[in-house]
Chain A
Amino acid sequence: MTILYFAWLRTRIGKADEQVTPPGGVTTLGQLRQWLMTLSPAHAEALGDAALIRAAVNQDYAADDYPVRAGDEIAFFPPVTGG
């Protein structure tokens, strides 16, 4: 699956996107975030506080219990500040 990071998540993790293949036990968005945190100290720091992070699966907002699967486009970002 493709993971995208925006705003300060992008700058803290040091990349805008990455391709990952999580283990079989990772089936929800919340589990995916927890697993991504194991990839590096920067991931752990940036993704650690769920209250500061929003997420989208295939470009729609999704909550922690939302299912994720191979081929999905999943984005993590801070609350939006446009307008």
Chain B
Amino acid sequence: MNFDFGPDQYMFQDSVRGFLADRWSTARLRELMTGDGFDSTLWQGLAEIGLPAILVPEVHGGLGLGFVDLALVLEECGRALVPGPLVETMLSADALARFGTPAQQSALLPAIAEGRCRVVPAVTEAEGGCDPELMQTTATKNPGGWTLSGRKILVAYAGLADRLLVSARFGPSGQAGLVLVDPNATGVTRRPHALFDVAARADEVVFDAVQVTAADVLGGEPSTAALHRLLDAGAAASALQMTGIAARMLDLAVEYAGQRVQFGRPIGAFQAIKHRCADMMVLVETSRTAAYYAAWALSSGPDEVAQAVSMAKAYCGDAARNVCNETIQIHGGIGFAWELDLHLYLRRAKSLEYAYGDATAHRERVLTAALLARGKAA
């Protein structure tokens, strides 16, 4: 029994934090508000320190580490507002490593590990979010493979992706699964979104009778388990990033409260302010607890995944929102100013709150499981 990271994991976190402090800043992020929103130098650098390789097995040139080794790295990515499609590509690497066919793995994983290939999930729809039960994208069997039709929203950096990992219902049974699609294939159209997270990029992608072969289906056959894994990993990755954002916002709140003087003293000396900060610390620490546990479950606790991930997504989403809101409140007027970075964190956290299922959906999942466990399914 040990709920702590090891020295190697803390060392990796330090090196990522150090790298980002040297090579990345919110000032640079603001520059990405125009143009294609992509910083190729940063991407290259992150690939050099091994981030996209973390979940890639060693046999494919990766580091062969698990989700628990990724936890602190993802927290740092949230903390520094690292832009996509890094985390998205890591999630695809996880799905490929676990469910891909040998051909899919050797075609994509070595390139991902080297930072030469970006694969982003396309799993969210405007009506049903990413609930597999509500998914409307379909793949219909034809002699050459499958015909894919549907519409996905919020596909991160689709214009820069080498492959999209698309969720769909396959065949007459409607079995859910994932399929790899070339974003430049015939029948695929993209429309860049106007986004709440102003420095990010994502597209609506329409699949209009797109032809794919069996070799494009992740694992060869439609795999519901692969889709669930991707959704759980995505929810946990969101929770970890929101935790990093909340931790950063708490630091900013404490720093400001310690230096801003009103009524002749730093406002952090007033209990109205310091008590908010203490409550935020509880939210941040408990977010860590929840998000780290979810990361562990994705690595080594298969029976715990559903509950651990949903707990984390629900708790960290509410916590990050609260901490961001409070940090802006503590800053007063300047907190509402565009020039301050606070809204960048708020916008990212708020977007992650809805990614891979919102808190309400995840609470419902937790309760259904808890009632089942008591032998009293609702």
Decide if A and B are genuine partners. Answer: no
Interface residues of B (CB under 8 A from A): none
Interface residues of A (CB under 8 A from B): none
